[in-house]
Amino acid sequence: MWHDVALRDAARAIYESVYLGDDWTTVPFDEAERFGTIHYRNAVDAAQRAQACLNGDATLQFVLI
Summarised one tens digit per residue, pLDDT across range 7-65 is 999 999 998 888 877 677 778 999 999 999 999 999 999 999 888 888 877 665 555 54
- pLDDT given at position 44: 94
- pLDDT given at position 61: 52
- Please state, in angstroms and rounded to a whole number, the distance separating the CA atoms of residues 32 and 3: 17
Instruction: Calculate mean pLDDT across residues 1-11.
Output: 83
pTM above 0.85, yes or no: no
